[in-house]
Structure 1
Amino acid sequence: MAEHLIHSEQEGWALATVMARRAVGPAAVGAALELELRDEPVAVSNGAIRAIGTGPGAWLVIDTEPDHGFADALQDRLEGLASVSDQSSGYAVFRLSGAGARTALQRGAAIDFHPDVFAPGSVATTAIAHIGAIVWQVDDSPTYDVAVFRSLSGSFRHWLEETAAAL
């Protein structure tokens, strides 16, 4: 039986990388952003913005509303705490959902997407079909978001379409 996969590229999202300064922990950065940040691969949200843990003291911070001043506003809030770099044009974010979403990701990445291991809020920095990616589970439907470098988004889209056709 074929599994259904819904996929789309998310448009207009504002993205920025945030890297804590030396000796500044996630609690201080999180307080400035009104988020409960941790040094773990988890996604957290306060309703306005979402932070995706990508490494120790590093997060991909996302606002799903178009905002050309997002990175500058983050830098103002994080002055002295963290460095901020606008990534809005650097990454493409794809949303995968439906019964085939987990299966599609399992075909491309060498990580365990079983719901007992990879649940809502889980994050992995990995390679999917040999393309560097940041993947996080949005909800238990399951819905996943996958960020890839924009220059590789065409290759990722091709892999995604081929994988969806084979489900």
Structure 2
Amino acid sequence: MSEAVMTSAWQPRSAWAGIARNGRHGRLQGEAGIRLSLRDEIGLATIIVADDQETKLRQILAEQLDWLLPSAGRTSIEGEKGLVWSAPGQWLAVAEFRRDLAALAETLRGVAAVTDQSDGRALVRVSGRQARAMLAKGVAVDLHPRAFRAGQAAITNIAHINAQIWQRDEAPIYDIAVARSFAGSFWSWLTHAAAEFGYEVERAPVH
């Protein structure tokens, strides 16, 4: 008698599944002014420091992970890995792949609470020569270079949706994370705002 092969009906599903379509959209003439990169593979985790443990947290992050603890409204990201300030005593850990954060909770045991957010949030990278102009239509913070530059972060509203935004470089390139349950509403606003500039949608490769 052969044994039945058991397979799970639960399969990983992108936060953007059924919402975003790869390719060129909006205005089709000329170069696209916006590029939207869907970051399904990225690792995200919240870090909430325990009472009176911030000095210890800073030490562990520096010695074991080579990470700096960013101050309010700042990031400390090198390449695709690092931290984004979220609130007093709270940060968002970011890594290129989810597996890169697998040991974080154990590393910070007794010093900070770590909660995986990789499946709880939807993240999109916004770039292109019209990125700032497009986001200014709905982002509730001033994105002018005098007010918001590379290495800065904010918790804000975008078209009445709670979001976390950080600027990666002076190009500018932005990463934006929203709750997974709001991915559809956020995408609707984002693509509507980007349409006049022409936009390209791509998915970062999953490894």
Task: Give the TM-score, by structure 2 length.
Answer: 0.74
Larger radius of gyration: 2
CA-based RMSD of the aligned residues comes to 2.0
The reply on whether 1:61 has 2:93 as its aligned counterpart is yes
Question: Which residue in the other structure is 1:139 paired with?
Answer: 169
Q: Following the alignment from structure 2 to structure 1, what is the Cα–Cα distance between the partners of residues 50 and 98?
A: 27
Letter in 1 for 2:101: F
Question: Which residue in the other structure is 2:24 paired with?
Answer: none
Structure 2 gap ranges (5+): 1-30, 198-207
Question: Which residue in the other structure is 2:118 paired with?
Answer: 88
Question: Which residue in the other structure is 1:21 paired with?
Answer: 50
Q: What is the CA-CA distance between 1:65 and the residue it aligns to?
A: 1.9
4+ residue segments displaced more than 4 Å: none
Letter in 2 for 1:19: I
The reply on whether 1:79 has 2:109 as its aligned counterpart is yes
Q: What is the CA-CA distance between 1:39 and the residue it aligns to?
A: 3.6
Q: What is the CA-CA distance between 1:18 and the residue it aligns to?
A: 0.2
Letter in 2 for 1:86: D
Q: What is the CA-CA distance between 1:48 and the residue it aligns to?
A: 6.3
Q: Following the alignment from structure 1 to structure 2, what is the Cα–Cα distance between the partners of residues 13 and 94?
A: 10
Q: Following the alignment from structure 2 to structure 1, what is the Cα–Cα distance between the partners of residues 191 and 115?
A: 31
Counterparts in 2 of 1:1-167, with a 5 A limit?
Answer: 4-25=33-54, 27-33=55-61, 34-47=66-79, 49-67=81-99, 70-71=101-102, 73-167=103-197
Structure 1 gap ranges (5+): none
Q: What is the CA-CA distance between 1:159 and the residue it aligns to?
A: 0.8
- Matched length: 164
Q: Following the alignment from structure 1 to structure 2, what is the Cα–Cα distance between the partners of residues 80 and 70?
A: 17
User: What SS does the aligned partner of 1:159 have?
Assistant: helix
